[in-house]
Structure 1
Amino acid sequence: FTGIFVNHGLMRKNEEIEVPVALRKLGINVETVEASKEFFHELEGIVDPEEKRKVIGRTFIRVFEREASKLNARFLLQGTIYSDVIESGAASRSGEKIKSHHNVGGLPENMSLELLEPLRELFKDEVRNLGHSLGIDKFLISRQPFPGPGLGVRIIGEVTSEKAQILKEVDSIFMEVLRESGDLDKIWQSFAVLLPVSSVGVKGDKRSYGYVVALRAVNSSEGMTASWYELPHSVLRQASSRITSEVKEIGRVVFDITDKPPATIEWE
């Protein structure tokens, strides 16, 4: 078995290093493919979230098939879970599509690889229980959910390499603050969203005009419903202060207090 790790440039900070290392510790042979420039090129000018998901899905398969052909690979093994299927409207004929998931509605119909989805009928909590039963390391099992399109659906509007780097720094700071406060292990999912708006501010004695980021933290068990997590004001203050002082492109920080429903966990 050989895994192919495609770095699309939209992972969280340092994940393109951490993920292959973690998999190799499990004895899995992993080939890393650097394809971020290809993904950012394909995403130029695209702002519609459904189209972004499909472009990322198509580009991923193109890169994956190109590399898989060098290994004579026949299968694409995906971690699709049941909530992905439901939200993509594929669970039943009457299912309403909420948003396409890259691994359900975002893959091209004519791909040459045979698709394997062993977790397709399990919810996230059931997948974690299965992992515990199989003796998989808690570090991997307890990782927060992360969308296949990555930061591509956490950057509202057009996705660029510059915006991705900004969001990686913001997200990393937010996670560090939550880890230091002891809140991170109590939260199902937490992340930052880069908004397509800028805000006037003051840094030092000068006018600033920077991006707005939204912070989100929710609790759930299976991902179909979620409640926003009530972070202490002191933690929010620390996150906001660090983000605006350490990431010069950010001018304002807001906190999302919307449950699912009516919102989805991810913004796109």
Structure 2
Amino acid sequence: MDTSSIVILDFGSQYTQLIARRIREQNVFSVVLPCTASIEEIQAYKPLGLILSGGPCSVYDADAPPADPKVLELGLPTLGICYGLQYITHHLGGKVVKSDKHEYGHAEVSVVDQELPLFADMTADLTVWMSHGDSAIELPPGFHLTAKTDNAVAGIANPERRIWAVQFHPEVHHTRQGATLLRNFVFNLCHAKADWTPKHFIETTVAAIREKVGNGRAICALSGGVDSSVAAVLVHKAIGDRLTCVFVDNGVLRKNEFFKVQENLRSKLGLNLVAVDASGRFLSKLAGVTDPETKRKTIGREFIEVFDDEASRIFKEGTDEVAWLVQGTLYPDVIESSSVKGPSQTIKSHHNVGGLPEDMKLKLIEPLRDLFKDEVRRIGRDLGMPSDILERQPFPGPGLAVRILGEVTPERVALLQEADDIVVTEIKKAGLYQQIWQSFAVLLPVKSVGVMGDQRTYAYTCAIRAVHSEDGMTADWVPLPYEVLKTISSRIVNEISGINRVVYDITSKPPGTIEWE
């Protein structure tokens, strides 16, 4: 790690990623590690401070998420949030019990020690967001009360040990002065510098790639989307012509995308691009597969095999051997693909993370692995990339395969390609494309009776999905104008033989995910 950071230990809170984002918004690098991370893993990030997140468990439970108690002996400025306060209390000799009165949602907190640097520039009365059913009733030796509600302890501190904690969630926007509290911790107590900028990221990442690859060669898995395009430009900046980008038609791309992406990336980014039509081999491997996880992992394995084949074909001689594979993996991909968040569950395997085979021949370079989507776009802008590439809506690595529920067949792919093209066309025509995080069609394995021209039809159902999001971790459905929905529906059922019904998905994330599979 080439820069200092704030390390966040995650005990399974739904808000943990917000903590990371709020700190990064201060131009300070932050990283989320599972609460089970070793001391060595933590120290590898050169932490200036440590934050213990919230979590769904009780610290006194036998199956409470484990963390090395030595994290409280590192001498780092440490901030406990919600469960983090209870963890500190429990492990340093205090007492936490189930509360008679739970606190969920908005609450009023009184700061009783305004001299603390943690509460600098904050009022004595705070409106905060609470989410806890346990409370600290006895403080650990050396700690004192810093904030309270009518029902419970809301803040404790031991400045000598450089440990502070709050029972509320400063990372959520419902806590009105939460950003100030986190800023106070990061700058007043950890003495961090606001030097994690796009320019700094580009410089350090390019240098790291150059050192890692040496005189070797790499291929980049290029999809034409924002993530892989920015990753390709970063690596090209580092190693130049020793990077070859490979764009694979996996049989589940959008309509005409195989040709459009090639033209776009060659003409606008000047990348050395090899296009491979592997649609037949992908579709044959997907035949009969209906389980979403199996789909993702099948596509992940097949991608790697294609890249291995291309690496062998393009560079055959010893000094030209390709050793590296570049991917545009993002932080949300990593988070959802593996249980990195303490006791949390794997939501779904992303084909480029959880779907990778263990016996890969190529070594990975994932320059964007610690970034959220909006941060990637900032990096792309600083790299001088065209806005039409950077503003493309996210498209899943497994493509339309995870938007076709049930078996993926050439017939179903063709139907969804046409429906998806209508959705994107009409969203753009309405001037909404860049205002929406994602908008797309889903083909359901449901047939229903319809009537067209006095004739009975029995055809598929198509779902439309449009969501607002900041980073893909949470999302709200978009109330598309009725006229836009009407046009999309009318065009789909009239222009696509095989679909006779259109429905609109009004589910947020959580409880749903953005993609249906």
| TM-score, structure 1 normalization | 0.98
Tell me what 1:82 maps to. Answer: 331
Report matched runs for 1:144-183 at 5 Å. Answer: 144-183=393-432
Letter in 2 for 1:17: F
1:12 aligns with 2:254: yes
Tell me what 2:488 maps to. Answer: 239
1:67 aligns with 2:316: no
Tell me what 2:212 maps to. Answer: none
Report matched runs for 1:180-199 at 5 Å. Answer: 180-199=429-448
1:39 aligns with 2:282: yes
Q: How many residues align?
A: 268
Residues of 2 paired with 1:118 and 1:90: CA distance? 21
Contact 1:87–1:100 (Cα < 8 Å) also in 2: yes
- Cα offset, 1:185, TM superposition: 2.1
Tell me what 2:456 maps to. Answer: 207
Write the deviation string for residues 11-43 of structure 1: whole angstroms up to 9, x where unpaired: 111110111111112111111111111011001
- Cα offset, 1:92, TM superposition: 4.2
Residues of 1 paired with 2:475 and 2:423: CA distance? 20
* SS class of match (2:406): coil
Which deviates the most, 68-77 or 168-177? 68-77
Q: Which has the higher contact order (CA 8 A, sep 6+)?
A: 1
* SS class of match (1:74): strand
Tell me what 1:261 maps to. Answer: 510
Write the deviation string for residues 73-98 of structure 1: whole angstroms up to 9, x where unpaired: 22110000000011112534534100
Contact 1:8–1:39 (Cα < 8 Å) also in 2: yes
Letter in 2 for 1:176: T
Residues of 2 paired with 1:103 and 1:138: CA distance? 25
Tell me what 1:119 maps to. Answer: 368
- Structure 1: runs of 5 or more not aligned: none
1:106 aligns with 2:355: yes
Letter in 2 for 1:46: V
Tell me what 2:391 maps to. Answer: 142
Tell me what 1:129 maps to. Answer: 378
Write the deviation string for residues 43-75 of structure 1: whole angstroms up to 9, x where unpaired: 111100000001111111111111111123221
Contact 1:227–1:260 (Cα < 8 Å) also in 2: yes
Letter in 2 for 1:110: D
Contact 1:86–1:95 (Cα < 8 Å) also in 2: no
Tell me what 2:25 maps to. Answer: none
Residues of 2 paired with 1:117 and 1:92: CA distance? 20
Residues of 1 paired with 2:285 and 2:496: CA distance? 27
Letter in 2 for 1:186: Q
Residues of 1 paired with 2:247 and 2:339: CA distance? 27
Residues of 1 paired with 2:327 and 2:516: CA distance? 23
* SS class of match (2:325): strand
- Cα offset, 1:9, TM superposition: 1.1
Report runs of 4+ in structure 1 exceeding 4 Å deviation: none
- Cα offset, 1:203, TM superposition: 0.7
| TM-score, structure 2 normalization | 0.51
- Cα offset, 1:140, TM superposition: 0.7
Write the deviation string for residues 130-158 of structure 1: whole angstroms up to 9, x where unpaired: 11111111011000001100001000000
Tell me what 1:229 maps to. Answer: 478
Contact 1:46–1:159 (Cα < 8 Å) also in 2: yes
1:53 aligns with 2:269: no
Q: Percent identity?
A: 56
Contact 1:187–1:218 (Cα < 8 Å) also in 2: yes
- Structure 2: runs of 5 or more not aligned: 1-242, 316-321
Letter in 2 for 1:143: R
Letter in 1 for 2:276: V
Residues of 1 paired with 2:474 and 2:516: CA distance? 14
Contact 1:40–1:159 (Cα < 8 Å) also in 2: yes
Letter in 2 for 1:159: V
Residues of 1 paired with 2:334 and 2:501: CA distance? 35
Residues of 1 paired with 2:513 and 2:246: CA distance? 30
Residues of 1 paired with 2:487 and 2:270: CA distance? 39
Residues of 2 paired with 1:178 and 1:210: CA distance? 25
Residues of 2 paired with 1:90 and 1:137: CA distance? 35
Which one has a bigger Cα radius of gyration? 2
Contact 1:79–1:119 (Cα < 8 Å) also in 2: yes
Letter in 2 for 1:55: T
Q: What's the RMSD between the two structures over aligned residues?
A: 1.0
